[in-house]
Amino acid sequence: MDLGFAVMVFRTGIFQLLVVAAPALVIGMVTGLIVSIFQATTSIQEQTLTFVPKIAAILLSLLFFGPWMMQMLIQYTITLMNQIPQMAG
């Protein structure tokens, strides 16, 4: 396995990681922003108010995007397994 192939494997792995994690991260960030705006406008400074909606939103996003995430990870794993002969050679 040459250096270019190793860099390609790592780069595609990191890209897959970012693509798979993006929906949950974006939904968590948007939910946090909405809760922060709500807290700023109502002057409610309860700490648990920030975590509970974000956790619920991220869990719902995992339920909704979970099959797609799993399909992406399975496809990447199959591609990686098919490239093992090239890594050994």
**pLDDT tens digits, 12-62:** 999 999 999 999 999 999 999 999 999 889 988 887 888 999 999 999 999
Q: Where are the alpha helices (DSSP H) in 1-89?
A: 3-42, 48-82, 84-88
Query: Which tokens belong to 59?
Result: 């869990």
**pLDDT (mean) for 58-74:** 97
Residue that wins the pLDDT comparison between 50 and 81: 81
pLDDT on residue 1: 73
Q: Which of 55, 70, 87 is nearest to 16 (CA)?
A: 70
> CA 39, CA 12: separation in Å to the nearest integer?
40
Q: Which two tokens stand for residue 85?
A: 């002969």
Cα–Cα distance between 60 and 89 in angstroms, integer?
Answer: 44
Instruction: Tell whether the model's pLDDT for residue 9 goes beyond 80.
Output: yes
88 vs 23: which has the higher pLDDT = 23
pLDDT surpassing 90 at residue 66: yes
Average confidence (pLDDT) over 54-77: 96
